[in-house]
Amino acid sequence: MRKIDWLRWLPAFLCLLVVICVVGITPTVYVMIPAAAALALSLWGTVAANFKPFGWSSACVLTACALSLMEKRPVAWFEPALMGLGVICFLGAAQINSVYQRKDVSPDLMEGFEDKAACLEENDAQAEQPLIDSAPAVRSALAIGAQRAVAIVFAAMAFSYMFFALAGVRAKQLEEGFFMMMLGTTVIGVSIYWLIRLAAPDAYKKPHR
């Protein structure tokens, strides 16, 4: 198995996508500066295979997103949730990338093979490329990222929709406002509970609890 080189550029690519979306919506200097910084930091993190630059990069991306949301423009109800989804996907890929790209120490002293026959056979084709264990990166990336990301974004969208719905009612009387707040809190709480249960199926794998 060979290492997939393009996988290491996935976080930077996701960062680029978010940045293009944000800058495309609000092409102002205040948004473009943190967006450019985020892109540079994500490239640095990719080259250095270190999670810390990715962390700072996510801070810059969030700053750009926040500044974009604060611009005087109509904001769609799903927009903040999608921005957040982009950032958490970027962070998830960056974490997996930094784990997979950890540096070996003097790898020439320990040549690794997943196939023992290839290890014993000097002239085997695999012996010339004795790299192992990188193909599961995509599998683990999907296993880790997909379910959680979908569940989280649904929860965030529901929350956003509820907020915008409440704002649309424009309840001016105190009683109506209090009623809407109670209703909204109940709906949001139930949504969070079920969405988290959905997002965490491992919780059902505890028969004794």
Partner 1 sequence: MGSRLTEKGYVYIVSFGALVLASILLDRWELLLLASVFMFGLFAVAYEQDEPEYSISVNVSHDRCFEGEQVLLEVSISSGSDIPLLEAHILLCDEENHVISSRQLSLSMRAGEIRNFTFRVNMPARGMFYVGDTVSRSYTRSGLKSFGDRVWPGEACLVYPRPEPIRVDWGLAARSRQHVGECPSRVPGEGLEISDIRAAMPGDPVKRVNWRATLRFGKLYVNDSTRDRNIDVVIVVDGLADVGTSPSTYLDCASRAAASIAMGFLENRDRVGIVRYAGAVDWAVPRPGRNQLYVILDRLARLYAVQSFVAPNMRLLPRSVLPPGSLVLVITPLLDDRAIDMIVGLAARGCNPMVLYVSPIPFIEDQLKDSAEDQLAKRWWGLDHKAKLKKLRALGLQVAEWDGNGSLDACLSHYFGGQGFRSAGRSPWQSASRGGWA
Residue 55 CA, distance from chain mean position: 11
Instruction: Examine residue 136 and tell whether it contacts partner 1 (CB under 8 A).
Output: yes
* Cβ-contact 91, 14 below 8 angstroms: no
| CA dist 198 → 81, 114, 149, 153 (Å) | 18, 36, 12, 12
List 2, 17, 20, 52, residue binding partner 1 (CB under 8 A): 52
Dihedral over alpha carbons 45, 50, 53, 59 (to 10 degrees)? 110
Q: Is 100 helix (H, G, I), strand (E, B) or coil?
A: helix
List 17, 47, 70, 181, residue binding partner 1 (CB under 8 A): 70
List 4, 47, 99, 169, residue binding partner 1 (CB under 8 A): 99
Instruction: Examine residue 159 and tell whether it contacts partner 1 (CB under 8 A).
Output: yes
Instruction: Examine residue 113 and tell whether it contacts partner 1 (CB under 8 A).
Output: yes
Question: Which residue stretch of 21-29, 30-38, 41-49, 90-98 sits at the interface with partner 1 (rule: CB under 8 A)?
Answer: 90-98
Instruction: Examine residue 29 and tell whether it contacts partner 1 (CB under 8 A).
Output: no
Instruction: Examine residue 171 and tell whether it contacts partner 1 (CB under 8 A).
Output: no
